[in-house]
Each structure stands twice: as C-alpha cells, then as structure tokens.
Structure 1
Amino acid sequence: MKAWLISALFMFSSEFIYPKRSTATIAILPPEKASTDNPLQKPIDFIVEEAAQQFMTVPQTVGLSVGIFRDGQTHIYNYGEVEKGSQQLPTGQTIYPIASITKTFTGALLAQAVVEKRVNLGDDIRKYLPGAYPNLAYQGQPIRLFHLINHRSGLPFLLPDRPDAFANTTIPSSAIATELLQNYTQQDFYTDLRNVRLDNTPGYTFRYSNTGAQLLGYILERVYKLPFEDLVRQKITELLAMKRTSITLPPSDQTSCAPGYNCDGVQMPSIPDQLQGAAALKSTVTDMLKYVQWNVAEQTEAVKLTHRSTWGDSTRYSAGLNWQILHSSGYRAIWQDGNIPGFSSLCVNYPELNMGIVILSNECDRSTASRITALANQIAKAVDERAVTLPN
C-alpha cells in the first residue's frame, strides 16, 4: 500500500512555463547563509529560517519565496537571488510560473460551473466538444468531466501525443514538451484528440494527463463563451484580489517575473502558454496566500466541491478536483505541486489547523520537488505537530 501511495503521489505532479526579472532590497547574512528578508523576531521566523537555509545549501538553488497562513495571519519570507548574480532578493511580489498548481484553478472553475448548474461533474465530455468524438469512450463508457481533472480520463500525457519523443531520458520531459508545443494551436489539439484511442474504461486507471486539464479548460471556455484567462479572472482572482496572477503578463509585470534555471545554472527559455488550464498560470507568493486562505476556509460550495474525493480512499489518500488529499487522525493535507523547466512550486492547505503554506522556487532539477516537500513538512510540523506529513 505504501509503495503504491508514494508512486501515485509522485506521478501526480507535472512539468511545464515562463521567465524574466525583479528588483528588491537585500539583507546580507554571514557568507555561509543565503541572503534573506526574514526579520528573525517571532518564533515562526526562526522555524522558517532553519528550514529555508537548509534548503538553500544545495549549490544550484537560486531563489526561494515562502508564504505561511496561520490563524488569520500571513508571513512571507524570501531567500537567495531572483536572478543569478544580481544580488537582488525575491519579494512577495516576484512573479513565478506555478505550473501544475494551475490545475487546481481549473478544478475550481469546474466546481463553480457545477454550482451554477451549467454542467454536472458526471457529464459525458463529448456533450461539450465541437463535433463527434466516438473515440472518447471505451466499451460504451465515456470520459466524464471529473475524469479530466483527476487523471483518470485515459487521455495521453500531452497532445501532440509523441511517446517516441520522450524516449530520450537524457532530456527532461518538460523540455521536450516545450519543443512539441511550439506553434501548436487549439485546432491542432482537437485534430489530434480525434486520433486518441482509449485502452481502458475511464475512471479506473491513473495516467497523468496534461491533455485532460487542457481539454477541460477548452470545455469551460465553450460553456461560458469566454476565454479561459477571463474565467480565471472573473471567477477567482478578482474575487480574491489576486492582482498579479494571470497567464499573460501585462507589460508592467514583465520585469517582476523571475527567470528560471536548471541544475547547471542555465536559464530556461519561456514555454508556450497553450497548456492554459494545465500549467500556464503565473503568480506571486502574496497572491497565492490569498488562494490558500480561500481553500483553508472552505466557505464556498465551489471550494468544498474541489476538496471532495473523486477517487481513492477518503480515509487515507484521495484525489479531488486536481487537489491531492491525505487524511490522518481527523486532519487533512490538501495539496498540489508544480514543476516545469526552471521552476518548482508547492501549495498545501490544512483546513482543520487553519493553516496553509505556499513555496515558490526559480530552479528545478530532479531533487527540487522532493526538497520543497521536505521544506514544507519541516515548517508545518514545527508550527503544528498535528500537520499531516506529505509523502516525499
């Protein structure tokens, strides 16, 4: 059971998105420590300092922003550099691509559409597609809307579906995907979707799929007759006053977007925004703390629905509308991570503890996601020992 759980959780993260720069004042610490704006005054400051400085000891690490919500208060800490060699500390307003955390926004939009009675979670997705897609069913069982966001649709990892392109294990899958998505249009997506062949009944087999979340974004556009980015703004970011969360950055925000780096310190190129509902959003730690508070509070029907199990064991591990949920002793950790070329992120909510953590980093290698999870666990447990430990 443990091996299965770890495997499923590892696979539930993603790859993919965008870079540039930022300015800030920097507090210089002793040479062996990373620069930070941590004031080291409150107990929580020292908790974060110990965990974050440990994270920053890995040589390839560049910048780190940590946000904590606890009992109605928010705390923001920044470490390292927003750009290599700049000696400029990230700030609460530094913009990072949040990769697969985007999928939780897409899940929230689906939940809102259900609340507004525009769709039902169990609807056959073909009801919302342009034209006939007899291929999107297996032995009479169709893909349903919620399958698109819990990775049990049976759709491929990515469209265009080129498993041969991912055979080269020396190149990160996210870099390969970036190349495949160059100049790839929505019409190309629908054309390739007609060639998909399901090999099992939807809803039973886990298969990580950016295609599913991307398709759900397109479906929501058709349901509301609005672009996906407008839906995110109208239904989520305006409501929560998340003023610097978007797919398309306005000119005024271009210089606030951190560049991303790989393990060799090479700056990663931007990737196309076609992934949209799967991985295209960019945000700040300040904005993401507002999103955390919204999820921790669980006061709206849409949020409650995103946290409701659509697959798994509701007493241990389950999947909501892209949120992963771990249950232990009456407490939950509700989380999602994101990993793309140059960036790694994590958002975790603890509703019963009135607490949440968001971590954004502008460096990504094979160990970054694991180290960010360890960082979150260390902070959460030190703040409240009842916090459910995320698998690492």
Structure 2
Amino acid sequence: MKKYLLFVLISFLTQTNLSFSLQAQTVKKDFQYTNQLTTSTDSLIHQAARTYLSNTARLGLSVGIYHNNETITYHYGSTQQEKQVLPTNKTIYEIGSISKTFTGTLLAQAVKDKKLKLEDDVRMYLDGDYPNLAYQGQPIRVGHLVSHISGLPNFLPDNPGLFQTTSSDSLPFVLSRILNNYSKQDFLNDLHNVKLDTIPGYKFRYSNSSPQLLKYILERVYQKSFADLLKIYLLQPLKMKHTTSRYKEVKVKHLAKGYNSKGNFMPYIPENLDAAGGIFSTIPDMLQYLKFHLDETNEVVALSHQVTTGDINQYAIGLNWQETITSKKQKKIWQSGGTFGFSSYAVIYPELAIAIVLLTNQADNTAQTELGHIADKIVNNMIKL
C-alpha cells in the first residue's frame, strides 16, 4: 500500500564534488536549542547524510528536527549541479505527496466548519449527472478521497498507454506539457468517463486524481481557491511565509533545481496537481506545519489523523497521513513525496513531541525509503536520551 505521488514516474544525477565543510553544513542561527539535542544528533545526522549523498544519484539534502520547543536544521550538498550552492533555511523544495496532508487538513477544517461530512456522496458537490461515480449503488464518498480507496484512477486524463510508450527520460516533460494545459473543466469532463470496478471504500488504488477532486469540492463549499484556502487556514496562521502552491509566488532565487537519477534537470510539478503534490516549501516552514500537527488536542488536527482505512496497530491511513503504532507503543504519523525531481519525508510522534522533515532535490526509486530510514535512526537515537 505504501506507494507515493508520481512514484510510477521515478524509474529514472551524476553529481559533482559534494561539500561537507563543517562550518557550512549546519544552519543554526535562526533557532534556539540545547546542547543536549545537538550533541546527541549531530554525528548521527552527519554520517547519515554522508551515506545518503555517497550515492552519485544524489545532490542536496536538508533536514529539520523539532522536539519540545527546540529546533535544529542541517543542510548538505548543493541546490544545483552547475555550481556548488549549499542549501539553507531559505531553500525552497517541492514536497510532493506531503501536499496531500495539507489537502486532508483543509478537509478536516471543512468538516469542523460544517461545510461537508466525510460520509457525503461526492456527487452532492458536482454539477451534472455522474452515475459512474457509484458501483452497485454505493457512491464514492468524500472520505474515500483521502485514503486511496475511491476507485478513481491515478491520474486524469487516464492514459496508461502513455507510460508504456514514452521513455522514462521524456515522460516527465510529456506529462508536464499535458497537465499544464489540463483545465478544471477537462478534469470534470474526464471524470464522466471513469469506470469503477469495485465498491468504493474497500480496494486500495493509489490515486492523485482523488485529492484533485477533493480540491474542487473544497473550492466549491468555501467559494475560494485552493491556494487561498491554504493561506487562510494554514500558511498565514502558522507563519509559513515561504510556502505556496503557485509557482508564480515562489522566490525563484531560493528555489532548488530538481533532477532525476541520471542527473537530468526535471520540470517542476504542474500547478493543477497542487492538491496532490504541488506545494513548494522550506525546512523551517515545514517544521511549523509539523509542530501544528503534533497537537492532537486541536480538533482539526485530531480529525486529520482520524483513521479512514486500515488498522493503526499495523498500518492505517488518516486524511492523507500514513499511521501506525510502533513496537514501543508510540503513534507514528508520516507521509513521503516524490515529484519529477524532488523527494521528501515528514514524520511526527505526538506522544514524544518529535517532528522530522527531510527534503531533497533529486528523485529515484529508493530516495523516499532511505529518507524514512534516516528519520527512524534520528528518532531511535533521541528516544535513548
């Protein structure tokens, strides 16, 4: 079940010399922290970063940790191939499928605001007739759109043949061109042609079109754009000044370049995939977001972590969050992401007040998994304190 945004695209950096100068690789000036936290994590993180970047398919890596009001960030490698530019707290990355958790959080806000319910038939919020969005009388419900059990295809337009007939090197550019010219009306027109093959809510099928449909539903019930909803309910309250779903709002001078496993520069994610994987952010902003999600006394946060499918004692999905109870009986909530040229991983442990985020400007088949392993090592080390 653990598949991620655009993972099907990442079957495709050689890199120049990496800088590991100790005076530059850790950015500390913006944060308050104790020596205990830094001493216990520095050597582990430096070694993990060296190991990760020793793979010549890797270029840059940024790491952020929050624990009990203490925050620290680390930066390694480079934001581009052309010259050595060390990432900083201002470096902007694509966060891929972690964007889905923002969409899920907005859904939780909408439920709190009584704009809709998780059990609502999605057709309540669509103009026109969509008999195809039900199977044997059972409709796709709003809650199905945040847990990959809606039955909707991975992408709309639904063109599996494109992945079979287009080379891996060309596919990101072909998809980018198609999706950059794909309108909301195109999406809704193609939605009429979807054919469900099972009752919604039971079968896992990874779907980027589901959060996109949810985006249009949220825009309808609030009468505001997705980008504006992000600003009103998340970005402004959490002071995430460098996070956006609109490329035109990105400070390009701080934007990392993304690459595939062959070192080829990749296109940025099309804006109409914003709700599924198109958010840009920085390490400090993401730590603000994860800190918010540590507080499960907050009604919106608690609802966004509510299990929609699976068993949390083994593996479950909340509102676009993946969840489990660890062997040490602690709740672990995470999501990873991958775009054409970026990989990411974010995890929180509410009982431990720990949040970790890792962002990179390269995508390959193992990057997301390895980022998750680094996060696990950091947490295990912190628990021993």
TM-score (norm 1): 0.88
Q: Which residue of the partner structure matches residue 355 of structure 2?
A: 356
Q: Which residue of the partner structure matches residue 12 of structure 2?
A: none
Q: Which residue of the partner structure matches residue 228 of structure 1?
A: 226
Do structure 1's residue 36 and structure 2's residue 16 form an aligned pair?
A: no
- 2:91 is matched by which residue type in structure 1? T
Q: 1:300 deviation in Å?
A: 1.3
Larger mean Cα displacement after TM superposition, 270-279 or 176-185: 176-185
- Report the Cα distance in structure 2 between the residues aligned to 1:101 and 1:302, rounded to whole angstroms: 17
- Report the Cα distance in structure 2 between the residues aligned to 1:87 and 1:285, rounded to whole angstroms: 19
When residues 311 and 169 of structure 1 are mapped into structure 2, their CA distance, relative to the original with a 3 A threshold, is farther
- Report the Cα distance in structure 1 between the residues aligned to 2:345 and 2:250, rounded to whole angstroms: 26
Identity over the aligned pairs, expressed in percent? 42
User: Is the CA contact 1:181–1:272 (under 8 Å) kept in the aligned structure 2?
Assistant: yes
Q: Which residue of the partner structure matches residue 256 of structure 1?
A: 254
Larger mean Cα displacement after TM superposition, 169-178 or 65-74: 169-178
Q: 1:284 aligns with which of 282, 286, 297?
A: 282
**Partner secondary structure for residue 161 of structure 1:** coil
User: Is the CA contact 2:61–2:360 (under 8 Å) kept in the aligned structure 1?
Assistant: yes
* Superposed counterparts of 1:171-210, under 5 Å: 171=168, 177-210=175-208
- 2:142 is matched by which residue type in structure 1? L
- Report the Cα distance in structure 1 between the residues aligned to 2:24 and 2:86, rounded to whole angstroms: 7
* Superposed counterparts of 1:236-385, under 5 Å: 236-249=234-247, 253-328=251-326, 329-384=328-383
- Report the Cα distance in structure 1 between the residues aligned to 2:315 and 2:8, rounded to whole angstroms: 25
Larger mean Cα displacement after TM superposition, 376-385 or 192-201: 376-385
- 2:149 is matched by which residue type in structure 1? R
- Report the Cα distance in structure 2 between the residues aligned to 1:73 and 1:243, rounded to whole angstroms: 20
User: Is the CA contact 1:345–1:358 (under 8 Å) kept in the aligned structure 2?
Assistant: yes
When residues 13 and 384 of structure 1 are mapped into structure 2, their CA distance, relative to the original with a 3 A threshold, is farther
Q: 1:12 deviation in Å?
A: 4.4
**Partner secondary structure for residue 347 of structure 1:** strand
- Report the Cα distance in structure 2 between the residues aligned to 1:331 and 1:29, rounded to whole angstroms: 36
TM-score (norm 2): 0.90
Query: Where does the alignment leave 5 or more consecutive residues of structure 1 unmatched?
Result: 1-7, 18-25, 387-392
Q: Deviations over 1:232-279 (max 9, x none)?
A: 010111111101110124567111110001112111122321112111
Cα RMSD of the aligned pairs, angstroms, is 2.3
**Partner secondary structure for residue 131 of structure 2:** coil
Query: Where does the alignment leave 5 or more consecutive residues of structure 2 unmatched?
Result: 10-17, 29-34
- Report the Cα distance in structure 2 between the residues aligned to 1:43 and 1:275, rounded to whole angstroms: 39
Larger mean Cα displacement after TM superposition, 245-254 or 137-146: 245-254
Q: Which residue of the partner structure matches residue 128 of structure 1?
A: 125
| Greater than 3 Å deviation, 4+ residue runs | 12-17, 38-41, 172-177, 249-252
- Report the Cα distance in structure 2 between the residues aligned to 1:362 and 1:268, rounded to whole angstroms: 10
User: Is the CA contact 1:138–1:198 (under 8 Å) kept in the aligned structure 2?
Assistant: yes
Count of aligned residue pairs for this structure pair: 367
